[in-house]
Amino acid sequence: MADLAWAATSATPTVSETLMTQPTHPVRRRTAAVAVLVLVGSGAAAVGPPADASTIGVGPDRVIAGGSSTPAMAIASDGTIYAAAGDITVWSPTSEGRPVVVKTFTGTGTSGTPPALSPTAGLAYVDGSSAVQVLDPAQADGPAVPTRTITGALTGIDDPSAVTWTPEGSLWVADEVVDGEPGIELLRFAPGADGDVAPVQRIAGGRTRLETDAVLGGIVAVAGLPGDGVAAAPSGVDPRVSVFTRTQSGNVAPARRIQVPTPTPHWLTQGVAADPQGRIYIGSGDLDGHAFGRLDVYGPTADGSDAPLVTLGGTRQRFQIPLVPTVAANGRLALVDATVISLGSSTQVVGRVEVFRPLFTKPGAPSALVVTRGRTQVGFRWSAAANPAGTPLTYRVVVRKGARTVLSRTVPTTALSLRRSALPTGALRVTVTAVNIGGSGPGVTKAFRR
């Protein structure tokens, strides 16, 4: 059995990882963007218990090896990645294996805080002077030219640790100083905010539970939600997400609070993301290496111990510790799957970026539907539907006589055989529809007689 420790790896590729053997809690560091597992010995992450029915495996569209780098990043709908590590480097959407850098925004001074990308508002980031900057991601290679800068006494921003856009264009900022003292507050700035402007919403205080949740990590990640809401997820070993709406201000309890299931007591999380539909994505994994990691996706109204809509995990997915997820406006997903393996005096850092197609894209229509009739059997077969998401696919077969449904079956394959006696006589219609976690695609229908 391998001895176990963990490391906080800097988001800056030029900064070496700091290893901390057998800590009692994670160490709070602004530059520690990704916490990773260290296996000392010859062991590897063990296979956990069998996954439940909602746990699936989806192959990544692309894998980008980071080597010793574990970038804080944002992803665009076309797959372009904006990696913040001092400067902001822009990776081509065709990057695979090693990142293909197409341009660099220099002078941004980022220090491990993920940038936030909005297709309409721009790319927001925290610079080295603790100001929040916004630039046009289409700008040319070279020095960053911010189009907006949010800083000054009225903003209330002292030590920003995270930024995120809402679909409506508001900008949320997580700040780690509250009224001059260490703490955590969430500040929302109106669309178009620029200069020394006051936030339109401020959330802070004991009832928020942000500081008590963050006691084991300190770094708070945020994700903008539809309706100008925000999801906040502190780093640590007890993953949970607090959701606040645009109508809440001051020292208020979260409107919703999602508890992420933890198979072991040392279940690390860092980062949270949301898509424009309000689904919340949070990755986590076992510091002790007793189970594979998981990415849970929760529905727009999830609360308490509600089950996730879907989980990428288990032996199907083989994540180590999937962290800092980022989701584009079209649902394209990227994350860092992080591991550090130490063998004696040798330490190998593995921090690879995995890029996935939008998970909730509906399938296409089946084709070439054929009905066969024998003396005792009726058979249906069809060609598979397009499934851009790559998520598990089933088919719903419905037979109708007039407006009445006489048979409905769901099958995992592209064929179904029935006894003739299962169907009534006369004119019938069969419709076959492909279904994945995104919903049902268009159906294909064929008339036949029994």
SS3 211: helix
Q: Is there a domain that residue 326 lies in?
A: yes
Choosing from 297, 327, 356, the residue where a domain stops is 356
What pTM does this model have? 0.86
Answer whether residue 82 is part of any domain: yes
* Token pair in block for residue 140: 């040319």
Determine the pLDDT at residue 130.
85
Residue 51 has pLDDT above 60, yes or no: no
Q: What is the pLDDT of residue 237?
A: 82
Same domain, 231 and 279: yes
Question: Is there a single domain that holds both residue 59 and residue 126?
Answer: yes
Are 323 and 375 in the same domain? Answer: no
Over residues 253-274, the pLDDT tens digits come to 999 999 998 887 778 888 999 9
7 within 8 A of 36, measured Cβ to Cβ: yes
Q: 203 CB contacts (<8 Å, ≥6 apart)?
A: 185, 186, 187, 210, 244, 248, 249, 250, 252
Report which residue type is found at 437.
Answer: I
Kindly state whether residues 436 and 300 are assigned to the same domain. no
The pair of three-digit structure tokens given for residue 310, joined into one six-digit string: 């879907």
Same domain, 413 and 443: yes
pLDDT in tens, 407-436: 999 999 999 999 999 999 999 999 999 999
In a domain, 228, yes or no: yes
- Looking at the structure, tell me whether residues 9 and 65 fall in a common domain: yes
Percent over 90 (pLDDT), the chain: 70
373: domain CATH number is: 2.60.40.10
Token duo for residue 215: 């006691």
Q: What average pLDDT is seen over the chain? A: 86
Spatial contact of 84 and 71, defined as CB atoms under 8 Å apart: yes
DSSP at 326? E
Q: Report how far residue 187's alpha carbon sits from residue 185's, in angstroms, rounded to the nearest whole number.
A: 7
* Domain identity same for 291 and 393: no
Give the list of residues 6+ apart from residue 71 with CB closer than 8 angstroms, or none.
11, 13, 33, 81, 83, 84, 85, 336, 353
Residues 294 and 430 in one domain: no
For 352-405, how does the pLDDT look when each residue is reduced to its tens digit (9 = 90+)? 899 999 999 999 999 999 999 999 999 999 999 999 999 999 999 999 999 999
In a domain, 362, yes or no: no
pLDDT band at 340 (very low <50, low <70, confident <90, very high): low
Is 36 inside any structural domain?
Answer: yes
Closest CA to 274 of 302, 236, 294, 254: 302
Mean pLDDT value of segment 133-144: 98
Strands 55-56, 310-313: pairing is: parallel
Residue 408 lies in domain: 367-449
Domain boundary among 304, 324, 356: 356
Per-residue pLDDT of 80-98, as tens digits, reads 999 998 999 999 999 999 9
Q: Are residues 330 and 388 in the same domain?
A: no
- Looking at residue 216, what is its pLDDT? 56
Specify whether 352 is located in the same domain as 376.
no
Question: Does residue 329 share a domain with residue 420?
Answer: no
> What is the percentage of the chain residues whose pLDDT exceeds 70?
84
Instruction: With cut-offs at 50, 70 and 90, classify the pLDDT of residue 217.
Output: low
| Residue 361: inside a domain | no
Please count the CA atoms within 13 angstroms of the CA of 90 that sit on its side-chain side. 19
pLDDT of 43 > 60? The answer is no
Are residues 371 and 352 part of one domain?
A: no
Which pLDDT tens digit goes with each residue over 123-133? 999 998 889 99
Which helix (H) or strand (E) is 210 found in, with range? helix 210-213
Report the CATH number that the domain containing residue 333 is assigned in CATH.
2.120.10.30
Name the 3-class secondary structure at 207.
helix
Q: Find where tokens 């959701």 sit.
A: 243
**Does residue 213 fall inside a structural domain?**
yes
Q: CA angle 242-265-298, nearest 5°?
A: 35
Last residue of a domain, one of 310, 334, 356: 356
Query: With contact defined as beta carbons under 8 Å apart, do 317 and 305 qualify?
Result: no
> Given pLDDT bands bounded at 50, 70 and 90, which one contains residue 70?
low
Number of domains in the chain: 2
Tokens of 234: 């502190």
Secondary-structure breakdown of the chain: helix, strand, coil percentages, each rounded to the nearest 5: 5, 50, 45
